[in-house]
Every structure is written in structure tokens, then in C-alpha cells.
Amino acid sequence: MYFWYRLTLKASDSIEERGPPVISLLLPLLMAWCLVGIFMINGIKSTGKVLCVLVPLAGIITISLLIRSVLLTGARYGLQRLTVMKVSAMYSITAWIQAGIQVLFALGLGFGPVVIYSSYMDQPNNCLSDAFVVAFINLGFSILAMPFILSVLGFWATVLIHSCIEKNAELLLKLVVQGKLPPEALPPINIPDDPHVIFTSWLNSLSQPIKNLVLSHITECNLEKQFLKVKEGLSFAFLAFIEAMSFISGSVFWSILFFLLLLLLEMGFMIGLLQGVMTPLQDTFPFCKKHEKLLTGVYYIKLLSDYWMVLPIIVIVISENMAVSWAYGSRR
């Protein structure tokens, strides 16, 4: 967290304090926006060709990362989360709200891209089949991404817990050598083979007085608590994911693939979002249609990110459905 907020983002101490611009972030941001501008500069035809490359490439990278992640140590622990059914969550309003938000953002509903892209389709086009195709493609990406994410987070938690246990074993060995702990508190020498299982089994085999004495000197290394730390927020989960990538052999290659995947996904989203802003401007103002290359910039995104929050999007989607049903009839 310190590295991300202090060294990378160089965040100020509080929201009231305005820090200087971070020059080190200027070049990546400029390059990202230049790529979006290049992809969109020739209109909807070039945008469609770009998306035909971005989407399959993102899928190939996701499959590659998935195959690598399931082979990691501790991936099974993360995948076990997919088999845990929490019935009480079905009755939680918060869970349904989060699921709804995910669907809205994943499909781009309420932001405009779906409506804008549909306006370029031929009249006899089957919109119902298109809707199913888009939904199933999105579902496919989610099905691929979820095991990948859980496997990597399981690996991350396992690596940190193994490191914690090894430090505890070294500490106990030092205390036994110094005579501060009895010989019974000496951990087994084969802990590096499987730190979590071996250390836990050894600790549970101790008599209660010795066990309490050992626990008073070591740090708690709980795999489940470490894994559940990702629930603290999206920022923490993202940082944990990045840290996990650094533990993998060939970390540079896999980190490049991961960040390339993020770049592809975000560019695809931003292209659709900007198209949803530019097309209404071009249709409304003739000047914008003649000079479409002037209609890109961070100000539109800043405006959208500041004022298009979750609740307005939900209201917009509901209103759109009511308008279509009222105009065409629910059966049509």
C-alpha cells in the first residue's frame, strides 16, 4: 500500500492538501490516450477493426494466464472458494447490488456504447441474438477470469504464509538455542517441504503448556485470514495481485502479459465510452461531424467519471427499458 500510494501515485497526506503533478505518470497516461485516439481517429470502421483484434487477444492472454495460475502453489486453496456456497448471501441486498453493478459496468449498460453501436447496424439485424451473444461472451470472460484471479490470490496468500511460518521456525530455533524455550519447542527440520501443513501438525501435537508458550513468541500465520484480506477493497486486491505476480518464476514476462491484458480491456472500454459521447455530439452539431478528430480528450472522461455514478446509471437503464417498452410495446 505504501509503495502504491506514496511512491507510485505520490498521494498527499489528506484530500485537503494538493500535491504537485506526478511527472512519472504523465508518459504512460499520454501513451494510453494516444493509442485510444489513434484507434478512433478514422471513425467507427477503424474502431470496429480494432475491437476485433483487442477482444480475441484479450481472450488468448486470459487463457494463458489461467493455465499458468492453476499450476501455482496454493492455487487449489483459492479455487476452493468457487465451491463454497453461502446461502445467506442470496438474501443479502448488498450482494445483489454488487452483482447488479458488475453487470452494468461489464456490459456497458447505461453508458451509451450499446445504443451507439446498435445505431450503426442494418435494419433487419437481429438485436435479440446480438444481445445474447454479447452477454454470453461477457459471461465467458468472467468464467475464465474468476479461476485465474482466485488461483493467483491463493498463491499470494500461501507464499506469504509460508514465509511467515519459516520466520517463526527460525525464531523458535533461536530461542531454543538461547535456552529461552525448552527443547520440545524445537520445530521439525522438514518445514520447507510444506510449511503450512507440517508446522500446523507439529504445533497441534504439542502439549497444551508448550503450545501456549510457543504461541506467545510467534506471529500468527493464518492462511484464511491472509486470503480474506483482499476483501478490504479493490485497491488492496489489485496490489495483492501485483505482489503475487512478483513471486512467480518468470515474473517479468507474466507481469507484462497481465498489464497488457489490463491495457486491452481498458482501451476497449474507453473506446466504447468515448464513442458514446462523440456520436451524439456529431449527430447534434454539424461542426462536430465535420471535425470529428477534435472530439477526444480527458475532459469528457473526467466529466463522466465525476457525475455518472452507479445510481444515475441504474436510473438511466430503467428509463431506457420503460421508454422502449412504451414506444414499441413489451411484446414487440
Distance of CA 99 to the CA centre of its chain: 15
The mean per-residue pLDDT over the stretch 161-185 comes to 89
Q: Check whether 200 has a pLDDT greater than 80.
A: yes
Query: What is the pLDDT, as a whole number, of residue 296?
Result: 40
Statement: residue 126 has pLDDT above 80: no
Is a pLDDT exceeding 60 seen at residue 1?
no
Most confident stretch, 48-52, 159-163, 294-298: 159-163
pLDDT tens for residues 18-34?
Answer: 667 777 777 887 888 88
Tell me, what's the pLDDT at 159?
92
Give the helix/strand (H/E) hosting 83.
none
Residue 293 has pLDDT above 50, yes or no: no
Q: CB–CB of 244/159 below 8 Å?
A: yes
126 vs 63, which has greater pLDDT? Answer: 63
pLDDT at residue 310 in the model: 60
Mean pLDDT along residues 273-295: 64
- Tell which wins on pLDDT, 316 or 157: 157
User: Is 261 part of any known ligand binding site?
Assistant: no
Q: Report d(CA 113, CA 210) in Å as an integer.
A: 64
- Between the two ends of the chain, the Cα-to-Cα distance in Å is 52
Grid-cell match 452539431, residue found:
285
Q: Is the Cα dihedral 237, 242, 246, 251 positive or negative? A: positive
Task: Please tell me which residue, 292 or 229, carries the higher pLDDT value.
Answer: 229
Residue 7: band (very low, low, confident or very high) from pLDDT cuts 50, 70, 90: low
**Residue 125 labeled ligand binder:** no
Cell of 208: 497444551
Q: How confident is the model at residue 294 (pLDDT cuts 50, 70, 90)?
A: very low
Instruction: State yes or no: pLDDT of 73 exceeds 70.
Output: yes
Of the candidate ranges 93-97, 133-137, 280-284, the one whose mean pLDDT is the lowest? 280-284
At residue 72, what are phi and psi to the nearest 5 degrees? -80, 155
Q: In whole angstroms, how far apart are CA 159 and each of 72, 147, 232, 281? A: 10, 18, 19, 52
Share of the chain above pLDDT 70, in %: 80
Q: Poorest-confidence range of 61-65, 81-85, 256-260, 279-283?
A: 279-283
- Reference 272, options 138, 108, 126, 29; nearest CA is 108
pLDDT at 13: 67
Considering only 69-83, 260-274, 317-331, which range has the smallest mean pLDDT? 317-331
